[in-house]
Amino acid sequence: MPPKKAATKAPNTSRDINLVHLDAEEQFEQYSAVCDVFKAQMGSTKSFTFDQLLGMFQQLDASLTEEQVRSMWNTMDRDKSGDVDWHELLHYIFDMDKWMQASLEDYKGLIRTAVYCRIRPIGKDGHGMGEEVEKKLDGWTEKSVFVKDRHKRLEYKFPNQVLPPEASQEDTYRVVMHQAVDAWLVNATNVMLFAYGQTGTGKTHTMFGPRESLSSDKPHDDWGLFPRAAHKALTTMETFYKAYADTGAKMSAQLRASAIEFYLGEMYDLLNGKTPLAWMPDGAPVGKHSVEIKKVSDLAPFLDTVAANRTMSGTKMNSGSSRSHCALILTLAECGADPEKDEFLYLSRSLTLLDMAGSERPGKAGTERVGADKMIELLYGMAAGKKLTKAEQQGMEGSCINFELSAIKSEIVKATEQNQKKKKYQNNCFPGTALTRYIGRCLVGQSWLTAIVCLSQSPQNGWETWFSCEYGEGLAKLQAPVRKSKLENADRLEERLTAEKAKAKTVFEATPEKGSAMSKYYSLRQATLNQVTEELQEVQQLLAAARADGS
């Protein structure tokens, strides 16, 4: 999408994200159309002359003139050697200069958050035609949602697009994830998709789809956003490997998945028995586990583990309500040789799908309302080993969820105001929970935030629908810088991580587990050592695979 024209007096005017769109599979189809012809003409050689190229292209398209082919030749012959090899041919077909531009060229100005709405069909789980309350969903258009009460009809214009009840999972992915996946795969950008809505509006279905659909490695109609994004990453990697198989190119890639739960202000590793995670002041988790995803069906056991460890609690609104926020993270890392510089380059970036806990009123959910003073009292009790009653636990969960949602909305307003005034926003909101700091990374440019707001049609859920629209409107106001992940020299990165591991090991081994003032840092230093060890192993594996691939 082209950026909107910035006003001359406002250098920090916001704009839609400006992405380079490249589809490796579409380009591979073009490559396949000429590949067999080229191989037949070239025989055992790995390069061809202009006359060979002219004959091959005119065999494919008789309308091509010599002048047109000469123009293509001049672009393909990058080293001006007088012939074109497979590398140069693929560089031209896949437009690798554009891929590099997409990876390296920074975004300009402040970037707006893209927010979408999805309307859940009338159904069960409290989403039938129940008793009407004061507020109700009163229709929608492609770009607006209407909520009505006895006084007025409000129009919410924040959605980039509204997905109606009949929208399929594929429709939803195409609308919501087209830009997000382009930003992640092609434009080297960390992306966070924020899924918001009351309990039972279809957030989890939208994100993942039914469990049984994940048994398929081929596209399935019921796949949600997460498996579709993973499939796109895997097929993109596979496409490049197929295309470059005959060139001796040195490259490797790896897709990994991790999962974090945010519960009662803290952070937990859902792949490691829900063990507490240390986190840095900017919300970055330290020491989280991950698993490699080689095919979409690998997501099934991954998500089973996540579901088994995630905090659930039945309420009047939903018997299986998630009472925590959950971040599912796909990290794509690549390593490849740059033949022009005789070095290996490394690039890593992540796509995070954040499934937010349901926002609901305590009275309607059948939970206890817990105020700030009571929450502090209960937290102190938990720290002292007191076991909470079920009512106290549910009240704490609901109050913490609502507190964090409110804090995030307030920080978005604050960050946008400071960004527009060219003041540097600090990701240090107080009191800062793990979740608010983690999402705060989007407010300072470490990730691009996109969002989907899921809405209920049921008249009995009118208040929750109104609140969700208010929240979506707040999310849509975010304007923040966005920074791309940086290409690194893989050998220098390996050297740096090796030194960091040695330092972290020395510091950790000097820290007593108990009985010392330094013992309070034991868990953090252990997690730091584990994380840098895992990062180093991943870089070494990719570097070794890339070197072996071209040997």
What pLDDT digit, counting tens, does each position of 65-77 carry? Answer: 999 989 988 988 8
pLDDT at position 267 is 93
Overall fold of domain 24-100: Recoverin; domain 1 (1.10.238)
Min mean pLDDT across 18-27, 221-230, 507-516, 525-534 is at: 18-27
pLDDT at position 90 is 74
Own/partner contacts of 144-147, CB < 8 Å, gap of 24 or more, are 145/117, 145/455, 145/469, 147/462, 147/465, 147/466, 147/469
Which range is most confident: 263-272, 319-328, 429-438? Answer: 263-272
Q: Does residue 311 contact residue 266 with C-beta atoms inside 8 Å?
A: no
Of residues 496 and 307, which shows the higher confidence score?
A: 496
CB neighbour list of residue 537: distance below 8 Å, 6 or more residues apart: none
The residue with tokens 């583990």 is 305
Min mean pLDDT across 135-139, 190-194, 304-308, 385-389 is at: 385-389
- For the stretch 375-407, pLDDT in tens is 666 666 666 677 777 777 777 777 888 888 888
The residue with tokens 């810088």 is 481
Residue 423, φ and ψ in degrees, nearest 5: -100, 145
363-397 burial by CB neighbour count: b if 16+ within 10 A, else e?
ebbebbebeeeebeebeeeeeeeeeeeeebbbbbb
Q: H/E element holding 155?
A: strand 153-156
Quote the percentage of the chain above a pLDDT of 70.
Answer: 81
In a 3-state reduction of DSSP, which class is residue 344?
strand
pTM given for the model: 0.85
Q: Which amino acid is at 187?
A: N
Of residues 318 and 37, which shows the higher confidence score?
A: 37
Could you tell me the two tokens for 215?
Answer: 């048994």
Q: H/E element holding 39?
A: helix 24-42
d(CA 477, CA 179): 18
DSSP string, 308-338: HHS-EE--SS-TTEE-SEEEEEEEEEEEEEE
Instruction: Sketch the domain layout of the chain as residue ranges.
Output: 24-100, 106-480, 488-549
449-465 burial by CB neighbour count: b if 16+ within 10 A, else e?
bbbbbbbbbbbbbbbbb
CATH superfamily of 106-480: Kinesin motor domain (3.40.850.10)
Question: Which of 108, 87, 72, 96 lies closest to 22, judged by CA?
Answer: 96
Query: How long, in residues, is the chain?
Result: 551
Percent helix / strand / coil, the chain, rounded to 5: 45, 20, 35
Reply yes or no on whether the pLDDT at 334 is more than 90.
Answer: yes
pLDDT at position 459 is 86
pLDDT at position 36 is 60
Q: Does residue 336 contact residue 247 with C-beta atoms inside 8 Å?
A: no
**Which residues in 221-363 belong to E strands, given as ranges?**
251-263, 266-269, 275-276, 278-279, 285-286, 291-292, 312-313, 321-322, 325-338, 343-355
Strand partners, 266: 263
